[in-house]
Amino acid sequence: PRYIWLSRHGESQYNLEGKIGGDADLSERGMKYARKLKDLVEKYVPNHDKLEVWTSTLRRTQQTAQFLPNPKKQWKALDELDAGSCDGLTYEEIAQRFPEDFAARDENKFEYRYRGGESYRDVIQRLEPIIMELENQENVLVITHQAVLRCIYAYFMNSPQEKSPWMSIPLHTLIRLEPRAYGTNVTRIKANI
């Protein structure tokens, strides 16, 4: 069978502080996940010696990949949704400083574009070449970010694009997709750390 493997980066310092965006390092727990991910790959990925690992250009995804001996590729197109002026803020701070934007995002999370940043629709557009590559690849693990993974996941699950912002992609979980002619099978492997 042909599988596509997906994972968010391990918990970051920003995740702990509730801040969005940025380029933070992994937390201690996030580092534990990075180590555990190596074990999970060895255990669950057939032909893991031939696996390719794709990350974004951000530290937290590379740190998550660091214990995997596999060849790696970095893609700018896998970077997290750009929150523009809101980068580095908590949702509470965004609600205080940019109340209209906060309400607008609540109203239409798919179309809402951060000031100087991106919307989910924008992310889907820049993911197009990645998704095309993934369609042709045999054995890839993609380690990236929440919003980006929601879009990739929705695509392979054949969900309408507009539903992407609500896909559930928890931390510290390795997701196995098996695309088939009539739909994609999903297996979620929790790291329990």
Regarding 146 and contact with ligand F6P (CB under 6 A), the answer is yes
Q: Which of 10, 41, 42, 40 is nearest to 26 (CA)?
A: 10
Indicate the helix (H) or strand (E) that contains 72.
Answer: strand 72-74
Helices vs. strands in the chain: H and E counts, helices first: 7, 6
Indicate the helix (H) or strand (E) that contains 180.
Answer: strand 173-180
Regarding 65 and contact with ligand F6P (CB under 6 A), the answer is no
Distance CA 28, CA 33 (A): 9
Active site residue 80: yes
17, 28, 80, 92: the active-site residue = 80
Q: Identify which of residues 126 and 145 has a Cβ nearer to ligand F6P in the complex.
A: 145
CB of 150 to ligand F6P, least distance (A): 8
Active site residue 162: no
Regarding 145 and contact with ligand F6P (CB under 6 A), the answer is yes
Binds ligand F6P by CB under 6 A, chosen from 20, 68, 149, 171? 20
Q: Identify which of residues 3 and 22 has a Cβ nearer to ligand F6P in the complex.
A: 22
